[in-house]
Structure formats: structure tokens, C-alpha cells
Amino acid sequence: MDVRKLLEEVKTGEMDLERAEALLKDLPYEDLGYAKLDHHRALRSGFGETVFCQSKPDEYLVQIFKKFYERDGEVLGTRASEEQFRLVKALVPEVSYDPVSRILKVEKPGKEHTGLIAVCTGGTADIPVAEEAAQTAEYFGCAVDRIYDVGVAGIHRLLSQRERIMKANCIVAVAGMEGALGTVIAGLADAPVIAVPTSVGYGASFHGLSALLTMLNSCANGISVVNIDNGYGAGYLATQINRLAVK
């Protein structure tokens, strides 16, 4: 809404006072662009809506998934079960499912992947979380290099991948147990490192708390942390950073 134009119309009498007052009543949100943000944020920002599937009631999940798909032509669902996949597929036959990352999606074909994000894991058990991150970033248009099983207990495995890691605009470091992967990578590379603690481990790992604390206390520079097992959050944030570099 153009406030100046409204005022001019009030002055000239083209718009009566009642209508002007009514329009201005909604101004706060329209002027802030909130409503537009709401309807168009995904298009403007380049991030489509995402559905966190876990624990969503079946009917609700299916409807929301269908609605987003019909509106945007694509949709990304995270933490979906095989059962949810079957339910959604009945309504949206185009949907595909990856049991490792638990990602359920319809994706527009021919998407270009730009820039570069490196996704690294400490062990093979961290791969599901890493794939959630990698596939999220790919869905949002990033090129991703997967560098798995390079944990610090065998440091040569990581060192031999140094050059691949150094090429990325942003690095996602996924690790459970002692969780030191992020620190060593941040010490080697210049790009920002997003550390993802995983709940992989037992005993005093306390379901990922150990890896989380390790990552928060990293003595390397250029590292930050997301929630335990939050591959999606890391993939999203890595995409934002990669876009800044690509722009």
C-alpha cells in the first residue's frame, strides 16, 4: 500500500475518510509486509515450506503435504516414517522416500545445484543425520560433497580429504560420541563450520549431550552448533551461507 497516494486521495476527496481509516487499520501488517511474508515468503526467499512429519496426525500430514504440493509444485518433508510415506503416496503419487534420511518429498525436475557445501561425518552411524542435511541443501539448490566416516580417531582419513573440504563455502560436520570432528575441520578450513551433534553412542554420551557439549566448547574458530540430530537445520543454514557466497 502506498501511504502517500492514499493521503493524496484523501486530500482530493477521491477517498472518503471512513475507507481511509479502515485501510490504515490494517497498515501495520501490510506496511510491515507480514501478510505478504506469510503468503509469499517461500517464493521470495527461495525456501519452500517444509513439513516436520514426526508425530503429525496422519490426516493432518496428508492434507498439509498435498496442499503445499498443489501450491508450490514441490514439497519437502523431514523425519517421515515408511508408514507416512505410504499414506501420502496414496494421495500424492509423485512423492518419493529415502529410508536413510527419512526425507519424503516431491521435487521439481531439472533443479540446478550451485556453490558447494561439504557434509562430513565421524562414523557410518551418523550418515542418516548427514543425509538429512545433504538432501535438504540439495533440495534448496546447493551442490553437496559427501565426505563420510572421517572421524578423528583415525585422523589420516580426515587429512586425506583436506582438499575436498577446503573447496566448500560451508562445511557441515556431523558426529556423535566424542564429537570432535567439527573442531579439527574448523582448524583446517577457512569456511564456516556447522557442527551437528548426533545421538549416536551409549552410556555417558547421554543421547548426544556429550557431542553437543564438545562442539559448543570447541577451541577452534569459525564453528557453531545446531540441536542434536538436527540435519535439516544444518542443511538449511548451510544453504543460506552458500547462497551468500554464490550471489
> Which residues between 172 and 211 bind its own copies (CB under 8 A)?
177-180, 183-184, 186-188, 190-192, 194, 197, 199-211
Answer yes or no whether residue 236 interacts with its own copies by CB under 8 A: yes
Among 75, 103, 120, 215, binds its own copies (CB under 8 A): 215
Which residues does 145 contact at the CB level (< 8 Å), separation at least 6?
116, 117, 118, 119, 164, 167, 168
Cell reading at 120? 562430513
Match 496428508 to its residue by C-alpha cell.
62
123 binds its own copies (CB under 8 A): yes
Binders of its own copies among residues 43 to 102 (CB under 8 A) are 45, 47, 50, 54-56, 60
Q: Does 1 bind its own copies (CB under 8 A)?
A: no
Question: Does residue 3 bind its own copies (CB under 8 A)?
Answer: yes
Of 38, 58, 82, 94, the residue at the interface with its own copies (CB under 8 A) is 38
CA distance 213 to 204: 12
Give the residue, chosen from 78, 84, 161, 214, that forms a contact with its own copies under the rule CB under 8 A.
214
**Beta strands at 103-106 and 75-78: parallel, antiparallel or unpaired:** antiparallel
SS3 label, residue 173: strand
Question: Contacting its own copies (CB under 8 A), which of 27, 43, 90, 91?
Answer: 27
Cβ nearer to its own copies, comparing 16 with 70: 16
Determine the size of the site formed for its own copies (CB under 8 A): 99
Site string for its own copies, 143-162 (x = CB under 8 A): --------xxxxxxx-xx-x
**Is 227 near its own copies (CB under 8 A)?**
yes
**Cβ(1)–Cβ(27) below 8 Å:** yes
C-alpha distances (whole Å) from 128 to each of 57, 144, 175, 228, 232 are: 23, 15, 11, 13, 11
Per CB under 8 A, the list member of 8, 58, 82, 94 interacting with its own copies is 8
Residue 187 to residue 109: CA distance in whole angstroms: 38
Query: How far, in Å, are 144, 153, 213, 229, 230 from residue 78 at the CA level?
Result: 18, 31, 25, 12, 10
Between vectors from CA 77 to CA 87 and to CA 129, what angle results, nearest 5°?
120
Q: Is residue 13 at the binding interface for its own copies, with CB under 8 A as the rule?
A: yes
Please identify, using beta-carbon distances, which residue of 104 and 243 lies nearer to its own copies. Answer: 243
Q: Which of 10, 71, 81, 149 binds its own copies (CB under 8 A)?
A: 10
* Minimum CB distance to its own copies smaller for 69 or for 236: 236
